[in-house]
Chains A and B, each alone.
Chain A
Amino acid sequence: MTRRDPQFVIATPPFAKRAVDTPAIMRHVIYALVPVMIAAVYFFGVSALLLIAVCTGTCMLLEWLLTGRGNLGNSPVRDGSAAVTGILLALTLPPGLPLWMAALGSAVAIVFGKLLFGGLGQNVFNPSLTGRAFLQACFPVALTTWSPQGGLGAFLEMRGDTLALPLLRPVFDGISAATPLARMKFESEPTDLGALLFGTIPGSLGETSAILILLGGAYLGWRRFLNWRIPVGIFATVYLFASALNMIDPGRFTDGLHHLLSGGLVLGAVFMATDPVSSPVTPRGMWLFACGIGVLVILIREFGGLPEGVMYAILLMNAATPLIDRITQPGIYGAVDHRAGRGD
């Protein structure tokens, strides 16, 4: 009787494997964000560049320090998810935000938003939005001070208080501008839709260029790196709900298209709400989650005290995700009880 042949490894099937792994997905999310980042730098110059660098760097550095015990070879930072968190956080910030605040927000995002939950895959809330919510609570003025845009000519011009020292009260200079949503809400003055689409408006780094975000999202959706159901569901709900309100009282409520393209909605729907970790896994759950966000966004924008509600809408639905998953389990093949639908 022959002995076991050492040439053969002990392994179990399947031996066929799709090539894409988790770091690859993260890489592609970053690729999809590159045009958005370039636009941000074009519009807001070196301040934007510094913000992105500081947020991404802080997230990655902290994850490495707190998990890898100095060994870069197998640190979770290599999977790229911390970089995604940093970039996305930066894209939600106003261009003139002091860098120390950005670094603080990034630390909160990665430590409280992710690592304390147990790292990748374990967090309940989207880490970037956790960081943003923290900053919003601590520095409400700085977070709503919007610098106007400049083209390439103004590249080297610092916006706002980029280099302000920590904890010194920043002196906000006069050249702040109102975002389209604020103008709508407080001055009832709509912004040209074309300007919204192409991003030639004041706003946070990434909320200004809807078209580039949509392109990035379409690429990821096509490669199946993000789930199309969530952005589609959010856009449909926001549009229908806003249009219905607008029909009831056009003088009081903004129209659907304006809602779709302004504020952080496109960025939030395409890149934040689709964060797989903090959104449902079941097809019906995704629809429910998306509708919930859409409804909350309009409720906050139209009836709440704030001009923008995407962040809170997503965070609230993040909290509901475990419950949504539980109640939307798909009906299995051959289920004796066919009431449980499949939703896709």
Chain B
Amino acid sequence: MTQARTFRHGIHPAEHKALTAGRLIERIAFPDEVILPLAQHIGAPSRPLAKPGDKVYRGQIIAAEGGFVSVPLHASVTGTVSAIAKHHHPNGSLADAFVIEVEQNSPQTLYDEHATDWEEMPPSALIEHIQRGGFVGLGGAAFPTHVKLAIPEGKHARWLLINGCECEPYLTSDHRIMLEWADSIFLGVRVLARILGAEKSFIAVETNKWDAIKTLVSRIPADLACELVPLETKYPQGAEKMLIKAVLDQEVPSGKLPIDVHVVVQNVGTVAGIGDFFAFGQPLIERVVTVTGPAIRRPTTLLVPIGTRLSNILEHCGGLTEDAREILFGGPMMGTPQQFLDVPILKGTSGIVCLTEEQVKSRQEYPCIRCAACLDACPIFLNPSALGSLARTARYDEMMDYNIMDCMECGSCSYVCPSNIPLVQRFRVAKGVLREKQARGKAA
């Protein structure tokens, strides 16, 4: 292994990972009730199959996929559907969700426990199977996994890139998964590499997780064409585009996808989940969540049934401190602030970060002093300084000349800006307006 590779620009925020990195993944007790929204992934929501009053089993499909870019939804517990009703969704909306009352004293065994004979199955059947398992990207984006595996006509995948960077501060779910579930990961890699016909697989891990790198290196099966790639610890190293640049020195052309440079990227947690699915038939019904931050009393990395309420989890972790001011689903750079304690954990919830006044206090904004710190931070090489002043005066169309649509909203520019300008917030608004405009333009 040579020197850690990386991409250009980016930032080095304080990591805060020591809060949870050294603790084993802990399984939380089954709650009394779970909430399973039909829309937990990018794409069409799932279509309910089970009805109120039905008894459902842990791992049973209760809603079918709503199209190709969609996945089915499984009951994460054995119990009774008490309602399908509107419920607070972590994205801030009210959305349709199954409410399942958990059966008391149930052994909570899997509905359909079996190993899959994947080596005999053709890639198309494997892709369908993964869709049936309800898998989506567990790193936070929640994009259906099988869609990324179905390579469009005329393209091909040479490399499978497994993302174990976990570059967001605080989060340690993927870190623990790599330490504790190496075998599941390698089985997942085998299945995915077979589907793609990939020449080689890479597992990319930042060097702040040397223990995980060592563990994985020592466990790589001899017959697997898989390489561990240590990457410099830098945000946003885990963004697909940055990862591909660092590992393969390729740039995904603007507006294109990784497959256009023959790469498929999957999060390491997703791969471990797929490994378990093929090993003993467990679909995506639980996930690892880092519960952390200065405002939680007992920071822990938990294994939770999907649909568990935030309040149950906070309680399990000793509750919030008095000075808690913000709870995020996801990391502090790109996470989603929560307003309600009864929201459920979704498939894409990688962490719960609880912050105090110190981290969320609003800071006085100063005029842009054109210091260029944001240009030196932006991993896409945009000009956030110019974009920011255009956004401030709502000159959205001119922002197109500065490639606003390539902004991936990583927040690096806001992080470094000495004038505390809410750059990425303004860019989100601008992109929303522009996208709407484009859609209207097309409709007309």
Docked Cα-Cα span, A277 to B389, in Å, equals 13
Instruction: Indicate if the CB atoms of A15 and B368 lie closer than 8 Å.
Output: no
- The verdict on A7 contacting B325 (CB below 8 Å), with A17-B415, A18-B416 known, is yes
Instruction: Indicate if the CB atoms of A342 and B375 lie closer than 8 Å.
Output: no
List residues of chain A with CB within 8 A of the CB of B334.
Answer: 13-14
B9 to chain A, nearest CB (A): 9
For the complex, would chain B's binding face be called helix, strand, loop or mixed by DSSP majority? Answer: loop
List residues of chain A with CB within 8 A of the CB of B366.
Answer: 21-23, 79, 120-121
Interface residue B380 (Cβ < 8 Å from any Cβ of A): yes
Interface residue ranges of A245-287 to B (CB < 8 Å) = 276-277, 279, 281-283, 286
Contact of A121 among B335, B369, B425 (CB under 8 A): B369
Instruction: Indicate if the CB atoms of B332 and A13 lie closer than 8 Å.
Output: yes
Instruction: Indicate if the CB atoms of A22 and B418 lie closer than 8 Å.
Output: yes
Docked Cα-Cα span, A191 to B380, in Å, equals 49
Interface residue ranges of A15-29 to B (CB < 8 Å) = 15-18, 20-25
Interface residue B254 (Cβ < 8 Å from any Cβ of A): yes
Interface residue A334 (Cβ < 8 Å from any Cβ of B): yes
Interface residue B312 (Cβ < 8 Å from any Cβ of A): no
Docked Cα-Cα span, A303 to B333, in Å, equals 55
Instruction: Indicate if the CB atoms of A9 and B360 lie closer than 8 Å.
Output: yes
Instruction: Indicate if the CB atoms of A332 and B369 lie closer than 8 Å.
Output: no
A325's nearest neighbour on chain B, judged by CB, is: B386
Instruction: Indicate if the CB atoms of A281 and B372 lie closer than 8 Å.
Output: yes
Stretch at the interface among B53-61, B158-166, B262-270, B339-347: B339-347
Q: Mark B233-249, 1 if CB is under 8 A from A, else 0.
A: 00000000100010000
* Size category, B interface: 35 or more
Instruction: Indicate if the CB atoms of A332 and B403 lie closer than 8 Å.
Output: yes
Interface residue A330 (Cβ < 8 Å from any Cβ of B): yes
B404 to chain A, nearest CB (A): 11
Q: Mark A84-124, 1 if CB is under 8 A from B, else 0.
A: 00000000000000000000000000000000000111100
Instruction: Indicate if the CB atoms of B256 and A334 lie closer than 8 Å.
Output: yes
For the complex, would chain A's binding face be called helix, strand, loop or mixed by DSSP majority? Answer: loop
Interface residue ranges of B355-376 to A (CB < 8 Å) = 355, 359-360, 362-364, 366-373, 375-376
List residues of chain B with CB within 8 A of the CB of A329.
Answer: 383, 402
Interface residue B326 (Cβ < 8 Å from any Cβ of A): yes
Q: Mark B3-21, 1 if CB is under 8 A from A, else 0.
A: 0000000010110000000
Contact of A16 among B13, B376, B380, B418 (CB under 8 A): B13
Interface residue A186 (Cβ < 8 Å from any Cβ of B): no
B240 to chain A, nearest CB (A): 11
Instruction: Indicate if the CB atoms of B253 and A336 lie closer than 8 Å.
Output: yes
Instruction: Indicate if the CB atoms of A25 and B371 lie closer than 8 Å.
Output: yes
Interface residue B324 (Cβ < 8 Å from any Cβ of A): yes
B337 to chain A, nearest CB (A): 6
Instruction: Indicate if the CB atoms of B335 and A13 lie closer than 8 Å.
Output: yes
A5's nearest neighbour on chain B, judged by CB, is: B341
Docked Cα-Cα span, A10 to B360, in Å, equals 9
Instruction: Indicate if the CB atoms of B333 and A14 lie closer than 8 Å.
Output: yes
Contact of A9 among B87, B325, B363, B386 (CB under 8 A): B325
Docked Cα-Cα span, A4 to B11, in Å, equals 34
Interface residue B123 (Cβ < 8 Å from any Cβ of A): no
Interface residue ranges of A297-342 to B (CB < 8 Å) = 325, 329-336, 342
List residues of chain B with CB within 8 A of the CB of A281.
Answer: 370-372, 375, 383, 385-386
Instruction: Indicate if the CB atoms of A5 and B339 lie closer than 8 Å.
Output: yes
A79's nearest neighbour on chain B, judged by CB, is: B366
**Which residues of B pack against A, CB within 8 Å?**
11, 13-14, 87-88, 169, 241, 245, 251-254, 256, 324-328, 332-342, 353, 355, 359-360, 362-364, 366-373, 375-376, 379-383, 385-386, 402-403, 406, 411, 414-416, 418-420, 422, 424-425
With A15-B335, A281-B383 given, can you name 6 additional A-B contacts, CB distance below 8 Å? A9-B360, A10-B339, A15-B326, A17-B415, A18-B418, A335-B254
A-B contacts, 25 of them at CB < 8 A, read: A1-B87, A4-B340, A5-B340, A9-B326, A14-B334, A14-B415, A16-B359, A16-B415, A18-B418, A22-B366, A22-B369, A120-B367, A277-B369, A281-B370, A281-B375, A325-B386, A329-B402, A330-B382, A330-B383, A333-B381, A333-B406, A334-B251, A334-B252, A334-B256, A342-B381
